[in-house]
Chain A
């Protein structure tokens, strides 16, 4: 009896977990694809064209941009944040606790770290694809003014990873999904609304600005705008990137610990 296993070509094992997610998605993608193309168009149409008309009538340009151009890049940032959020809490707890597919996976050659990396790699893959779609949509509304816009999918991937890694790590410690709802209500909804997403940080009173600038999404939004318009200071851009990279790396290290503890201890 020949043993067909472990013919890995020197590739890391987590690639098998990535493949699993990719295959799963290939079977179940139909619902989500329409929304990932239609949502940005709806949002840009409603806010950009509708609200934008009012803004232009009252205040003119926002930071040198028409309102629809001003909010278009932040839409990429909020969507990639939501992708990281949606993929990393409920699905992870389900795979650990409800349908227990992660437990099935650790009984194969995969280690808990492989499951984590494969998951994050898959979420990043989705973010890159979403980023490409959004970049095209944003571009078709005329909001792209610099070749730096080609980095928008990468920025989207970084935003997704910065949220996904710590959330997966946290989900691996959760006993129920009660805390997820709280995180969604008290962290993500405010962040979505107040990260200089729909109005510039200068609209906030001075004492609130440091709080806004501490929100992770603020850095994603700022990066996306800088790429779309080709502006922003070098120092600020580096700071935004470092902020998100630190979140991602810290999340990965935390996740290695929590996944191992939950799945194999």
Chain B
């Protein structure tokens, strides 16, 4: 909790539970998000991320637990809270028949923003989203990246203090993702608190000051990306490939060289502190991999370690 002490909390969740008829999507999660930080939710599909997002957007009510957003109780102050939030849903939810500018201005109506302010604000946001030259085009004709940027611009129409983004870059090509990250950085510099869900580890490492990893409806780890790596993984990872269909046979022989060994279908991962030394030791005992790679531990190693390697559909 040392980070929480550093600044003012904008959102506090304690033992949040969300239960649908016979399914418990979120099983008691607690976390605090501070003003100005970018906070991430990582987790495989079905981990309860989206249900958690819907609760902290003051849209769906927790089955139990306490939640304070912007110092208010969403149960009694939902509209007031939502007036100060921006939400970027997983799907774009834009009006396809209308123009880019119309989408922004019409959405502003929901916040009761006057027409003059809306017009000026839309112009600003079109520039922010790099859509000024497409302002009068139908949304249907935009590329996926442009639609995504418009959805983010739309979420900013009310100048929110807290922006909640559910998988903001899923389905985008690398250029579109980088442009979007750059825009999110810019918002962060402007002091907008952001909560982001993603299953891209590089995105989480790039954007998040702090994150939680969710799995099966609970939080399994929490902290800044570098700290999580230090805590849940080793400094380096050695990736070995062998010319064999059954790399398992090397498992027992390699175990003595690493703190942890992970056998994947196509390669073996050795979690170690000094990869080059390990590699040399392996060579010395006569194990010769077809290829070897030494790399730093990443958030992905933490994620896979914590949430398991089984594919979740």
Contact = CB atoms under 8 A, between A and B. Distances in A.
Interface of A: 1, 3-8, 13, 16-17, 19-20, 23-24, 27-28, 99-101, 103-111, 263-265
B9 to A, nearest CB: 20
A122 B105 CA distance: 19
A264 B82 contact: no
Nearest to B82: A109
Interface stretch (B57-65, B122-130, B288-296): B57-65
Interface in B73-132: 78-80, 82-85, 87, 89, 91, 93-98, 102, 105-107, 109-114, 117, 121
Given A7-B114, A99-B96, A23 B79 contact: no
Contacts, number: 98
Given A4-B111, A5-B112, A103-B89, 7 more contacts: A4-B121, A4-B158, A6-B80, A99-B95, A104-B87, A108-B158, A264-B54
Contacts of B61: 264-265
Interface of B: 20, 54, 57, 59-61, 78-80, 82-85, 87, 89, 91, 93-98, 102, 105-107, 109-114, 117, 121, 154, 158-159
Contact of B111 (A17, A28, A108, A111): A108
Contact of A5 (B60, B96, B97, B158): B158
B59 A105 contact: no
Contacts of A17: 110
Task: Say whether chain B's binding surface is mostly helix, strand, loop, or mixed.
Answer: loop
Contact of B84 (A5, A7, A24, A101): A5
B89 A107 contact: yes
A191 B7 CA distance: 65
A24 B97 CA distance: 9
Contacts of B94: 99, 101
A3 B80 CA distance: 12
Contact of A109 (B20, B57, B83, B89): B83
A28 B140 CA distance: 15
Contact of B82 (A8, A27, A108): A108
A50 B112 CA distance: 52
Contacts of B95: 24, 99, 101
A6 B85 CA distance: 13
B113 A28 contact: no
B184 to A, nearest CB: 18
Contact of B106 (A1, A8, A23): A23
B158 A20 contact: no
A7 B112 CA distance: 6
B111 A6 contact: yes
A75 B111 CA distance: 39
Task: Say whether chain A's binding surface is mostly helix, strand, loop, or mixed.
Answer: loop
Nearest to B21: A265
B110 A105 contact: yes
A239 B98 CA distance: 43
B112 A8 contact: yes
A5 B98 CA distance: 23
B94 to A, nearest CB: 8
Contacts of B102: 23, 27
B79 A4 contact: no
B97 A6 contact: no
25 contacts: A3-B158, A4-B111, A4-B114, A5-B84, A7-B112, A7-B113, A7-B114, A13-B79, A16-B109, A20-B110, A23-B102, A24-B98, A99-B94, A99-B96, A104-B87, A104-B107, A105-B110, A106-B59, A107-B85, A107-B87, A107-B89, A110-B79, A263-B59, A264-B54, A264-B59
A5 B83 contact: yes
Given A99-B95, A100-B93, A101-B93, A20 B106 contact: yes
